[in-house]
A and B are shown apart, each in its own frame.
Chain A
Amino acid sequence: MLLIPCPWCGRRDESEFACGGEAHIARPADPDAVSDAEWADYLFMRTNPKGAHRERWVHVHGCGRWFNVARHTVTHDISAAYKVGEKPPGDAS
């Protein structure tokens, strides 16, 4: 069971949270401007990395907030947890 550092509440057991999958997937600003294939990519396709990953979590049985977590999928090391709208640490873009 992961120990997840909620940016609002601090570290809590994984069982208080739900995972919302990969983070930083932007919804196309104008859905009509993208092709079916691009739309399908947004809808269905997710990376499945062995290593560093950024994912969305929500503190369901806590503050109810969504936030992002940078987690290594092999070691489960959580290098950062940051609020929605914040840039992932180490991301210069």
Chain B
Amino acid sequence: MREQSHRLAEGGRIDRATPLRFTFNGRRYGGFAGDTLASALLANGVSVVGRGVKYHRPRGIFSAGSEEPNAVVQLETGAHTLANARATRVELYDGLVATSVNCWPSAEYDFAAALGLLSPLLPAGFYYKTFKWPASLWMTYEAVIRRAAGLGRAPDGPDPDRYDKINVHCDVLVVGGGPAGLAAALAAGRTGARVILADEQNEMGGALLDGHDEIDGAPAQDWTAEAAARLDAMDEVRCLPRTTVFGYYHHNFLAALERVTDHLGPQDAGVLPRQRLWRIRARKVILATGAIERPPVFAGNDRPGIMLAHAARTYVNRYAARPGRRAVLFTNNDGAYRAALDLRAADVEVAAIVDTRPEPTGDLPAEAESADIELIAGHAVVATHGRKRLSAIEVMALGDGGGQVSGEARRIPCDLLAVSGGWNPTAHLFSQSGGRLRFDATGACLVPAVAAQATRPAGAGNGTFALDGCLAEGWAAGAAAAAEVGSRARGRAAKAPGATVTPEEPPGDYGVVPAPGHPEGGPKHFVDLQNDVTAADIALAAREGYGSVEHLKRYTTLGMGTDQGKTANVAGLAILARLGGTDVAGTGHTTFRPPYTPVTFGALAGRDVGALSDAARRTPMHHWHERAGARFEDVGQWKRPWYYRHPGEDMAGAVERECLAARNTLGIMDATTLGKIDIQGPDAAELLDRVYTNAWSKLEVGRCRYSLMLGEDGMVMDDGVTARLGRHHYLMTTTTGNAARVLAWLEEWLQTEWPELRVYVASVTEQWATITLCGPNARRLLAEFTGDVDLGTQAFPFMAWRAATVGGIAARLFRVSFTGELSFEINVPARYGLGLWTAFMNAGEKYGITPLGTEAMHVLRAEKGYIIVGQETDGTVTPADLGMDWIVSSKKDFIGRRSLGRTDTARPGRKQLVGLETEDAALVLPEGAHLVENPGQEPPVPTIGHVTSSYHSANLGRSIALALVKGGRGRMGEAVHVALEGGAARAVIRDPVFFDVQGSRLHG
């Protein structure tokens, strides 16, 4: 570990008593508590921290805040790793490990920098032009580009950290803890209003931490500490440091990310979460979000050692880190002179101040001159030198209103160029909230204009840059917001904090700084440092017709990096405006979208991961199934036994065994998951008449009926059996996955269209366990368990139900069947489900009772040509398409009936349900495969339908399939071809019922 070569001996808000070690790109360095990774790197004289994404030119630390485009690092390793962390916002902790992204093999020796030589081949729209068509070219380039262009790597394992979410309400949310935000929070807080003050930095103070202003006659940092302490002491005020409000949504709903323990490094088993997502509903919002300095756009402006002026000032003042030894300031405004003065105070030699304005006459320029700093007015930086670190700049005189440079170029050696093109209010949240921005010509920046919600911008974020204005505006906003929510201060009146500020002259022109020679052929003027977008790229895009701001953004990728162009966008707009002979008010701006800074997926997911990501529903017999070797499938949230694997069996063997048992002796199935809806009321039958395709009034108590439910568009939505339990009492069953949807459907119609119907619907799915016994021995086994009901086919026919005692339990028996076998569904209160199931298994041993999974059930029903909603139907299928007209009443109205007569619904040639028999009996077609008439014809070959269900049937000794085929019922016996990978298979269209066509087993 070497000495911190660029660390000042004293000053700054770092704790020299707490030294820290860290590793960057494999080298070990030292820093102090209070450093950011960026300040620690600068203190160690590290100049290159990354490479440009397109040309792989070396890049250095450019800013000291969230806007950082260059110093984007990979933090930590393995599962803990975080891609795209901004070194300027990473608080240093002991043992921190970071690496540059986008460099290979290293930031300093980058192989792909050779690409820089190819830069004429990488113009704007390069991706559009090269990779659109044909696809093969894209395939060729993709691997190369992806390797070279990626930013960061994903973790290599599940996230080991915990994340929390919290919901809060408040009267006033203050975003930003700088002078305006602190004043606002104080003014609102003293009224007793519920206030939240959030700031992204580790301590409150904002830009006050970077300089040496005075407030109320005292050092501003003392005032800040006192203000923070006073806020902490207010019961209803909550201060959230390290918290970025990143999204402003409807109705004053805002989201914030609190980095709870990030500054401590990876924690193994801490009590605290790594991060916390705050979901805040605020009655009033004050946006004291500050401003972001923007760079002038000049030739060679991306070299390491070129940095925003305020950032240079921040590094010497706040972090006691010298970003260079010999500096030049390049500016168009007075404020940046403070950087030159502070750098000099920190023993950085200031070689010159280059000001684009012809005659800077403000107090700060005067102060600089009286401090014997050379002021080169009316000049611009036209070139920079140095490979891995700036070594010199060249300046020339500006003429033609700033549009041209002329005269001799003067070379000034320096290793730091502090730049300033003025400031942009951080209007991201204001714009996200729906607020309108206006272009302020004086500051050449976008400023909040018209709020769309209960929002008050204040301070620099509102275009009020001077400290006295920030304090006054923040205080007024806080007081007004509190008053609006009915909160008023008691006790003696308080006064807004005040400050005396040095007045500043208006800034000069903002846009591209000219360079000698052709503007597009010379050295690059970078606009977007992170995405390597140059002024020439913008000019090219405009020439090629991408002149609207939204098109420009997508064509050039301007502002589309992880920094979202915080230092680039306004420059890009200014350039585009000038090309079009207008200003930014004319071009407009792109949409500001959340998040303001990147948010981890972990924080958004919170605790809703792994087993908690969704509820799992299990039947009372679930553990029995597990012990019996069941493999489960998810049906909605339900876990259903898919098949029961015996030792030595594969899935096909298990399904075959189950299917044969059901037809030859006795199967048992857990059908608990079928949706069950209890319907009661005098108008229950009327409701059923309206939602089902067939008629219900004449169904007797004790009987059941199968039916289809349609959408209002006439398409099949669900099917199921409904039983009449009593005069005004029905039990409807639905498919497992549709239970909630059908209940909601009934509720919707009852509440919105038919409030006059006297009927109630309620889900009873989980109140009942349902066991299905099916097969030739079903009645025999059931008879052993019940003595109070005649199970004979005369007394208890198919599609009837009986109340009975089964194994001593009050039960409902339904004689219904989904397999085509003699079948009983036994419903008992859920708590008896497992007991009865076990009793059936024990007593059924003599019949070879066999549990059936859903796969066997699907095969058995397909043998009978029974549909599954969602498999044979897809929202475009009518009852007639399924050959189920027999179930559709023509004597009453019901939901969807009118649509069945629409021209498209009734047209000939619609796809109809048929069976398919493959020529090769062993071939099981893939579900979803398309049917064609002539596979040999020139592509494109038209499809005439597709396979909806396909299985091997052990009972038939061959494969079977169901399909939807255009005009299918008119094609019986026709041969078709099934398009498969690597060829086509022949199959014959047939009736969909493959087994027991007469239905004798069902009724036996």
Chain A contact residues, CB within 8 Å of chain B: 1-3, 13-14, 20, 27-28, 31-32, 34, 36, 39-40, 43, 56, 58, 60, 64-66, 75-76, 84-85
Contact = CB atoms under 8 A, between A and B. Distances in A.
A85 B898 CA distance: 25
Q: Which 7 pairs of residues, A with B, have the shortest CB-CB distance?
A: A31-B898, A3-B251, A1-B253, A66-B751, A76-B250, A2-B250, A66-B752
A63 to B, nearest CB: 11
A69 B752 CA distance: 14
B434 interface: yes
A84 B752 contact: yes
Given A3-B253, A31-B898, A66-B748, 4 more contacts: A31-B897, A66-B747, A75-B452, A84-B755
Contacts of B899: 39, 43
Contacts of B755: 84-85
A76 to B, nearest CB: 5
B434 A58 contact: no
Contacts of A65: 751
Contact of B250 (A1, A27, A84): A1
B633 interface: no
A36 B902 contact: yes
Nearest to B903: A36
A32 B752 contact: no
Contacts of B712: 43
Contacts of A60: 744
Nearest to A85: B755
12 contacts: A3-B253, A13-B253, A31-B897, A31-B898, A32-B898, A36-B902, A36-B903, A39-B899, A58-B744, A66-B747, A66-B748, A76-B251
A39 B251 contact: no
Given A36-B903, A40-B902, A75-B434, A56 B253 contact: no
A41 B281 CA distance: 39
A31 B893 contact: yes
A29 B747 CA distance: 20
B713 interface: yes
A2 B251 contact: yes
Contact of A39 (B250, B434, B748, B902): B902
Interface in B694-738: 712-713
Contacts of B744: 58, 60
Contacts of A36: 901-903
Nearest to B251: A3
B253 A27 contact: no
B434 A3 contact: no
B898 A39 contact: yes
Which has the most chain A C-beta neighbours within 10 Å: B434, B452, B752, B901?
B752
Interface in B552-592: none
Interface of B: 249-253, 281, 434, 452, 712-713, 744, 747-748, 751-753, 755, 893, 897-899, 901-903
A28 B250 CA distance: 36
Contacts of A2: 250-251
Contacts of B898: 28, 31-32, 34, 39
B977 to A, nearest CB: 36
Kindly name the residue among A1, A56, A75 whose own CB sees the greatest number of chain B CB atoms within 10 A. Answer: A1
A66 B744 CA distance: 10
B281 A3 contact: yes
Given A20-B748, A39-B898, A43-B712, A27 B753 contact: yes
Which of A32, A66, A84 has most B Cβ within 10 Å? A66
Contacts of A1: 249-251, 253
Contacts of B748: 20, 58, 66
Contacts of B752: 20, 56, 66, 84
A71 B712 CA distance: 26
A49 to B, nearest CB: 17
A40 B901 CA distance: 11
Contacts of A56: 752
A39 B283 CA distance: 45
A84 B756 CA distance: 12
Nearest to B753: A27
A13 B251 CA distance: 10
Contacts of B434: 75-76
A14 to B, nearest CB: 8
A40 B752 CA distance: 20
A54 B893 CA distance: 28
Nearest to A77: B251
Contacts of B281: 3, 13
Nearest to B754: A27
A2 B281 CA distance: 10
Contacts of A58: 744, 748
Contacts of B893: 31
Nearest to A23: B752
A35 to B, nearest CB: 10
Contacts of A13: 253, 281
A56 B281 CA distance: 24
Contacts of B901: 36
A84 B751 contact: yes
Contacts of B897: 31
Contacts of A34: 898
Nearest to A56: B752
A28 B281 CA distance: 42
A1 B319 CA distance: 40
B892 to A, nearest CB: 12
Contacts of B903: 36
A3 B892 CA distance: 42
A68 to B, nearest CB: 9
A75 B252 CA distance: 12
Contacts of B252: 3
Contacts of A39: 898-899, 902
Contacts of B452: 75
Nearest to B898: A31
B108 to A, nearest CB: 47
B750 to A, nearest CB: 9
B747 A64 contact: yes
B673 to A, nearest CB: 21
A17 B309 CA distance: 50
A41 to B, nearest CB: 12
Nearest to A34: B898
Contacts of B253: 1, 3, 13
B166 to A, nearest CB: 14
A64 B901 CA distance: 34
A55 B748 CA distance: 14
Contacts of A85: 755
A36 B893 CA distance: 16
A13 B898 CA distance: 38
A31 B898 CA distance: 6
A29 B901 CA distance: 17
Nearest to B247: A1
Nearest to A40: B902
B719 to A, nearest CB: 22
B718 to A, nearest CB: 19
Contacts of B751: 65-66, 84
Contacts of A66: 747-748, 751-752
B960 to A, nearest CB: 37
A40 B899 CA distance: 8
Contacts of A84: 751-752, 755
A78 B755 CA distance: 25
Nearest to A60: B744
A2 B253 CA distance: 8
Most chain-B Cβ atoms within 10 A of its Cβ — which of A32, A34, A36, A60? A36
A84 B748 CA distance: 11
Contacts of A43: 712-713, 899
